[in-house]
Amino acid sequence: MGKKAEILERLGGIAPALRRYSRALCAGAGHTLSDELVQSALQSVGARIRARELRPADLQEARLEAYAALTASAGKRLTDASRPTPRHPPIVHGLAELSLDDRAALLLVSLEGMGYDAAARVLGIRREALLAQLMRARAKLGVVGLPPADAESGARRAASHLRIVK
């Protein structure tokens, strides 16, 4: 089996994780839409690899491309998506309140366990911008089950946020 074929074959193995990310990114917008995003992302990356538009060095690179494809298409598909219902847990409602960019940054790092460089690559932004989005998301989401952090700590975060810009 050639390298390309092997990557394509193993790419299917990330479907469960991609599905987890998609479900969270959709934030209560529905499982059907969530699965359509996963299917679309996998097919898109697979087709690009077969067409040699994309030549991933390894599975990890193909994986990041799949996350990137999913995130990009979510931006188009989630504009008119339904909101979470009362049966969803508070964390889902919290996610739905975040901007898609901030939500994606938080989920890639906190849920998918990606490093900052990998997550920044998925989102097509610089590492510093990713960290800013991550900070915003965590501050807005607050501590689950508790009220968001107070204004004083918010001010502190703004100050420390300035310090990270190189």
Partner 1 sequence: MPASSIIGEADLHALVDGELDAERRRKVEDHLLAHPGDAALVEGWRRQNAALRAAFEPAALEMLPLSLKDAATRTHAPQQGPIETGAIHWGRPGASRPSQRLDEIRASRRRQAALSTVLTLLAGAAVAGLAALVFAGRNEAPRPPVSAVLTQSYAGRASLTYATYASDARPVEIEVSRKGELVAWLAERVGFSRPPNLAGLGLRLIGGRVLPGVAAPAGLLIYERANGARLGLYFERAEAAGAPLAPRAAQGVTAIEWRAGGFAFVLVGPLAQEEMQAAAESAATAIAAAPDEKR
Residues interacting with partner 1, by CB under 8 A?
A: 8-9, 11-12, 15-17, 19-21, 23-24, 31-32, 35-36, 38-39, 42-43, 45-47, 50, 66, 89, 91-92, 106-107, 109-111, 115-116, 131, 134-135, 138, 141-144, 146, 149, 153, 156-157, 160-161, 163-164
If the CB atoms of residues 126 and 164 are measured against partner 1, the closer one turns out to be 164
Instruction: For the chain, give the number of residues.
Output: 166
CB of 134 closer than 8 Å to CB of 114:
no
Q: Taking the complex as a whole, how short is the minimal distance between the CB of residue 66 and partner 1, in angstroms? A: 8
Residue 128 CB burial class (10 angstroms; 0-12, 13-18, ≥19)? middle
Q: Taking the complex as a whole, how short is the minimal distance between the CB of residue 124 and partner 1, in angstroms? A: 19
Distance CA 126, CA 101 (A): 13
If the CB atoms of residues 79 and 143 are measured against partner 1, the closer one turns out to be 143
Q: Taking the complex as a whole, how short is the minimal distance between the CB of residue 110 and partner 1, in angstroms? A: 5
3-class DSSP state of 147: coil
Q: What six digits make up the tokens of 7?
A: 């990557």
Q: What six digits make up the tokens of 136?
A: 């915003």
Q: Taking the complex as a whole, how short is the minimal distance between the CB of residue 78 and partner 1, in angstroms? A: 16
